Amino acid sequence: MSESWFIAEIMQYLKGESSFWINKHKKTTLKFEWQDDYYVVSIGIGQLETLRAYIRNQVSRECGLERCRD
């Protein structure tokens, strides 16, 4: 990735590549599509562990640990 990429370009790339991979490898029974919106925020190094814990808990809340291990 280039340093000059804008956040919108990065999100378009990440969503495009990941949805292509998910659909190619049939990770869902239906065609996978991202929603149009996204949220971006910057954090400082002091908040990194809090963010990691939030992400871990979000995964377990949204789909249960058994379904998300793959």
Task: Tell me what pLDDT residue 36 has.
Answer: 93
pLDDT for 14-55, tens place per residue?
999 999 999 999 999 999 999 999 988 889 999 999 999 998
Q: Into how many domains does the chain fold?
A: 1
DSSP 8-state code for residue 15:
H
Q: Is residue 16 part of a domain?
A: yes
pLDDT at res. 5: 79
Identify the domain containing residue 64 by its residue range: 7-68
> 10-39: string of b/e by CB count within 10 Å (b at 16+)?
ebeeeeeeeeeeeeeeeeeeeeeeeeeeee
Whole-number Å distance between alpha carbons of 21 and 6: 23
Establish if 20 belongs to a structural domain.
Answer: yes
Give residue 55's pLDDT.
Answer: 87
Could you tell me how far CA 51 lies from the centroid of its own chain? 14
Positive/negative CA dihedral, 14, 16, 21, 22: positive
